[in-house]
Amino acid sequence: MLVLRLLNVVAPAYFLCISLVTFVLQIFVFIPSMFRDPSTTPLFSPALLHGALFLFLSANALGNYVLVIQSSPEDLGKDLNLSKGAEVADWLDGSRSPGSALPSTHFCRLCARVTQRHDHHCFFTGNCIGSRNMRNFIMFCLYTSLACLDSLVAGMAYISATLSMSFEDPLAFLTLLPHSISQFFSGALLSSEMFVILMLYLWLGIGLACAGFCCHQMLLILRGQTRYQVRKGMVVRARPWRENLQEVFGKKWLLGLFIPVQNVESSYRRQKEK
């Protein structure tokens, strides 16, 4: 448990550090290097277009990241008046409280609260993912993946121009790291260039991981399931996939694709208001 709590603090700091390094490299290294092409007009130069795209992706990734943290799942334990006796032990075992009629609820040891439609605990946000912030979490994964892949392409263009090498051969990227390490220790490669090369592989790993995680979450949403339900083998009621999507993304789903907006209210809160 101590290791998990430490990871819950270190992982968000690691993500913010990687984001800051990516932003600095893009704004102060990659984008200025694109202004060297005099054949393009200033209005439609690759540097300005790429800069606008990167800022759009970064703003959405950071905006949804903040909304995931702010839109914390509700602590249903307060509303259910759970004591510190046997009922809390039932939550710790992953089962429902004896006096509760709410499905898909789970007690998170790290957050110390009971949440509805618990999916998983995200260490990079230090928060549980549930009914209130699922949409923002998926948008965060999507735009983080796109921002990393965008930085990967810009970094490869920068390395190609700096080291006068071509990536037309598919094996060129795979052999770039071992060749760069040997050149770095021989003194033929600068430390700044070696750092950019290491960041290329980091962006590739994060981008592919976020893209795969986003696709996996979308498949679960289409089936009306959460990761917690799949892990516990819970049977869910079959519903049309359109209803499952609307429950997570809401009716104004198109707006959430371009602007970081707060997720729809949970069904539990709507039940309480009624």
Alpha carbon of residue 77 to chain centroid: 28
Q: Mean pLDDT, to the nearest integer, of 161-177?
A: 88
pLDDT digits (tens, 9 = 90+) for 206-235: 999 999 999 999 999 999 988 888 888 887
Q: Domain ranges for the chain, please list them.
A: 1-36+43-73+118-166+196-273
Q: Please tell me the chain's helix, strand, coil percentages from 3-state DSSP, rounded to the nearest 5.
A: 65, 5, 30
- Asked whether residue 122 carries a pLDDT value surpassing 60, the answer given is yes
pLDDT digits (tens, 9 = 90+) for 234-246: 878 888 988 999 8
Q: What is the mean pLDDT of the chain?
A: 82
pLDDT digits (tens, 9 = 90+) for 37-62: 555 556 567 788 889 999 999 999 99
Phi, psi of 71 (to 5 degrees): -85, 60
Choose the catalytic residue: 17, 108, 111, 122. Answer: 122
Q: Which residue has the tokens 């049309």?
A: 240
The confidence score (pLDDT) of residue 237 equals 82
Residue 9's contacts (CB-CB under 8 Å, 6 or more residues apart) are: 126
The question of whether 214 is a catalytic residue gets the answer no
pTM of the model: 0.85
CA–CA dist 7, 2 (Å, integer): 9
pLDDT digits (tens, 9 = 90+) for 27-40: 999 988 877 655 55
Structure tokens at 61: 């990734």
CB 35 within 8 A of CB 26: no
The confidence score (pLDDT) of residue 85 equals 42
Structure tokens at 62: 């950071």
DSSP-derived 3-state class of residue 265: coil
